[in-house]
Amino acid sequence: VVMAEFMAAGHFQRHIRRMRRAALTRRNALLADWPTDVRGLGAAPCVVAGLHLTVPVTSVEREQTLLAQAEQVGVEI
């Protein structure tokens, strides 16, 4: 009942719009600041929407290095 009232009052749609704007802002920041000087990382992936992306790496060691670098600058993976 509470959820139905929440939705009927338009709060759910406002929440969805707010979350989409927040995700778009984060995605744009990620792509705008994509590092070009990280060896083996390559160009920014094509991300049309959302915050999920795939970054191919050549080895487990390289993956661990990239994960450590991301953690050092506050990127959660």
DSSP for the chain, please give it: -HHHHHHHTTHHHHHHHHHHHHHHHHHHHHHHT--SSSTTT-SPP---SSS------S-HHHHHHHHHHHHHTT---
pLDDT score of 54: 78
pLDDT at site 3: 92
Q: How far apart are the first and last CA of the chain?
A: 37
The predicted structure's pLDDT at residue 12: 95
pTM for the predicted model, two decimal places: 0.60
Per-position pLDDT tens, the chain of length 77: 899 999 999 999 999 999 999 988 888 888 888 877 777 777 777 777 777 777 778 888 888 988 898 899 888 88
